[in-house]
Copies of this chain bind each other. A is one copy, B any other.
Amino acid sequence: MQKRKKGSAPIPSSVVKRLSRYLTLLQSLESKGEEWVSSKDLAEHLGLTSSTVRQDLSHIDFSGISKKGYEVAKLWKVLREVMGADKEWNCVVIGAGNLGTAIANHRDIARRGFVIRGLFDIDPKRVGNKEGALKVQHISEIEGVVKNAHVEVGIIAVPATAAQETADILVRAGVKGLLNLSVTHINVPPGISVIGTRMVTSLLALTHSIMSS
């Protein structure tokens, strides 16, 4: 409750991941009309310790109040700012298969400010198809879309064999960050961020854990 850190210090990625989970939780607490939340409450909801929660929140420019905890609305707002969830992010999705079109039309993604500006594929049979609000475009058009719509995020939903090549195309077109939904690891030049969801990797970790329990 004394002084607090400035938002300028870099936040470790382990902490960033949890901050975005707090953000999601606060959104739901806010909608339930909760006014205050303690580090203990947050911890219990997310399977953490209250110590970890307080340690995490010490990285952002926000203070709680002894005995009451944190003001839900205010903490939510600060976290939105820290995570970049207070503004819209222009995205493109590459790969108009089942997964790509599902992501491109996913409610939870739109609701959090990720605006899909284009859905692309290399297969002529798919180009031109209407998928929800989007029409599938040929991959060759991506550069123009990225430039005109100021796209910063590329979402890769192509087969593993095409993932690296797709990443290269996106980086060349000028996106700043990639969400990789394929099973492959991709390499990018410094300054570009990549996050992988590793769905299949997760499933394998799950089966291992089932076997050893």
Let me know if B197 and A198 touch, CB within 8 A: yes
Would you call A50 an interface residue if the criterion is a C-beta within 8 Å of the partner chain's C-beta atoms?
no
Number of interface residues of A (CB under 8 A): 67
Which residue of chain B has its CB nearest to the CB of A175?
Answer: B210
Given A102-B102, A153-B203, A204-B84, A193-B177 contact (CB < 8 Å): no
List, in ascending order, chain B residues with CB within 8 A of A185's CB.
21, 25, 45-47
Given A195-B202, A198-B197, A207-B21 contact (CB < 8 Å): no
Let me know if B193 and A206 touch, CB within 8 A: yes
Would you call A106 an interface residue if the criterion is a C-beta within 8 Å of the partner chain's C-beta atoms?
yes
Let me know if A212 and B10 touch, CB within 8 A: yes
Interface string of A171-183 (1 = CB under 8 A from B): 0000011110011
Would you call A78 an interface residue if the criterion is a C-beta within 8 Å of the partner chain's C-beta atoms?
no
